[in-house]
Amino acid sequence: MGIFKTLAAILVMASVTIAVEAVAQTQAPPAGQPPPPGIQLPPGEDKIIEGEVRSIDPSGREITLTDGTKLITPPGAALKPGVLAEGMKVIASYREHNGNNVLTELALKEPSASPPTTR
């Protein structure tokens, strides 16, 4: 049972690492550096939302959460296919821009540890 939990923890961490790499393009640039071409978000505070992915647009540019929230990637950025799937729990930072929720960061939420079972 301990090996299973260890493997599960490793898989979760690998998934988080892959997801972070996949959306690294969508992060706001550090202060003092110009934004990449095509990404022009006005200054402002990011909002944070946690939720479960209901659907992912085939283009990899839009995610819809189960609560109906739609999140889009900035212009010129897209999620890598297969990294994110329906039913995954995510934590997203976004900015509202022109009526859209534009992603600035996206991470997988680690599932809560289940209580140990005794036999």
What is residue 63's three-state secondary structure?
A: strand
Give the pair of three-digit tokens for residue 92. Answer: 């997203």
pLDDT in tens, 14-26: 444 444 444 444 4
Q: What is the pTM of this model?
A: 0.58
Q: 118 or 98, which is more confident?
A: 98
Of 100, 82, 91, the residue nearest 42 (C-alpha): 100
- Phi and psi (nearest 5°) for 21? -65, -35
pLDDT in tens, 55-105: 999 999 999 999 999 999 998 888 888 889 999 999 999 999 889 999 999
The full set of domains in the chain, from first to last, is 2-27+45-108 (2.40.50.320)
pLDDT at 19: 45
pLDDT in tens, 5-15: 554 555 555 44
